[in-house]
Amino acid sequence: MRVAVLGATGLVGGWMLRVLEGSRLPVERVIPLGSERSAGKRVIFRGEEIEVFPVEERHFHRVDLALFSAGSGPSKRWVPVAASRGAVVVDNSSAWRMDPQVPLVVPEINPHHLGNHRGIVANPNCATIQALMTLYPLHRRYGLRYFSAATYQSVSGTGKRAVEELRAASQAFLRGEDFSPSVYPRDVAFNLLPHIGPFDRDGISEEEWKMVRESRKILDMEDLRVSVTTVRVPTFSCHGEAISASFQEPVNPREARELLEAFPGVRVVDDPDAALYPTPRDGAGLGDVLVGRIRPDTGLENGLAMWVVSDNLLKGAALNAVQIAEALFAG
């Protein structure tokens, strides 16, 4: 296979290359692509340095698979180009997720949607993926009616510049110096920002709508009730989510743990008395979604509450994209 990676010098693009190295895909050649600023830089694949090329139509010639992680603007421009040249594109941006002609896929949940692709498959939002990875096995048993999520999202979800900003802002704070943020609207160091994406007229943020709409599409549940508050927190990697869900049938927490433990890609870490529960430090660099604090919800009928942590650069982005490609090409 010939695989193009657009956004190869970014955080997610770098992980895409690493995940490809260990995947089941028969990769013969990787073509790293980026912006004009990234042209000439070098990335590592299978121990070799490979030059990054500026994205141009000619680089998609005879490409079987194109993994995109360059933002919605470049995706809107280049995804149709790559698909028209015969590549199957797995796009990590929000550009194509809600297009009715484009499957939005978490391979453990809705791989059957891949049969309808027309050369483009969308990778869901990172926060949506980790929520549904824990809700779906419970939905199969109890019937999901509603869920709420409060997210605690790391700065790596915004990219390299955000990681650098948090580091610089934290140092300035500890030195007692003023800091002027450029990536975020307010200083994120030692702070919490309930602001991910622009707000609509009702005060609902773009990130919150992503989780609502994407969850409904992935689960084929147009009427699913979802409420979300998304928050940027001063951690470098991994997102945390406090999830409460209501089901059609009463939920047994012990059985719920067993269902979650048995689901591929989910790991239960749940012994609060021993201070065992998922944290961002635990989840960093792991492909599994970690879940703990599994307990009855005190305010919902047939409710269950849990705490979920996942590396947003892996299962939330690069790993899920490569797993989609494996489902398409490796069977």
156 in Cβ contact with 123 (< 8 Å) = no
Q: What is the pLDDT of residues 54-82, one digit of tens each?
A: 999 999 999 999 999 999 999 999 999 99
* Active-site annotation holder among 117, 126, 139, 238: 126
* Same domain as 94, residue 154: no
CATH assignment of the domain containing 25: 3.40.50.720
| Helices 126-142 & 206-219 angle (0-180, nearest 10) | 40
* Same domain as 155, residue 71: no
189 in Cβ contact with 177 (< 8 Å) = no
Q: Is 38 annotated as a binding residue?
A: yes
113 in Cβ contact with 107 (< 8 Å) = no
In the chain, the number of structural domains is: 2
* Same domain as 190, residue 303: yes
Q: Catalytic annotation on 239?
A: yes
Tokens matching residue 188: 């994120």
Q: Is 156 annotated as a binding residue?
A: yes
Return the amino acid letter for 35: S
Q: Give the whole-angstrom CA distance, residue 290 versus residue 240.
A: 9
Q: Give the whole-angstrom CA distance, residue 152 versus residue 180.
A: 22
Q: Is 232 annotated as a binding residue?
A: yes
* Same domain as 106, residue 31: yes
pTM to 2 decimals?
A: 0.96
Q: Give the whole-angstrom CA distance, residue 12 versus residue 199.
A: 25
* Same domain as 224, residue 107: no
Q: Tabulate helix, strand, coil % of the chain (nearest 5).
A: 35, 25, 40
Q: What range defines the domain where residue 153 resides? A: 128-312
66 in Cβ contact with 89 (< 8 Å) = yes
High-pLDDT (> 70) share of the chain, %: 100
Mean pLDDT, range 135-139, rounded to an integer:
98
Q: What are the CA-CA distances from residue 234 to residues 152, 163, 230, 237, 278 (Å)?
A: 9, 9, 14, 9, 17
- 331 pLDDT band, cuts 50/70/90, is low
Number of C-beta neighbours around residue 22 at 10 A: 9
* Same domain as 262, residue 238: yes
- 330 pLDDT band, cuts 50/70/90, is confident
* Active-site annotation holder among 59, 113, 139, 239: 239
Alpha helix locations (H) across the chain?
11-21, 72-84, 126-142, 160-174, 206-219, 253-262, 280-283, 319-329
Q: Catalytic annotation on 112?
A: no
Q: Is 157 annotated as a binding residue?
A: yes
Q: Is 287 annotated as a binding residue?
A: no
Q: What is the pLDDT of residues 198-223, one digit of tens each?
A: 999 999 999 999 999 999 999 999 99
Smallest CA-to-CA distance from 216 within 205, 204, 207, 225 is with 225
* Same domain as 83, residue 164: no
Q: What is the pLDDT of residues 90-106, one digit of tens each?
A: 999 999 999 999 999 99
The DSSP result for 33-56, as a single string, is EE-TTTTT-EEEETTEEEEPEEP-
- 116 pLDDT band, cuts 50/70/90, is confident
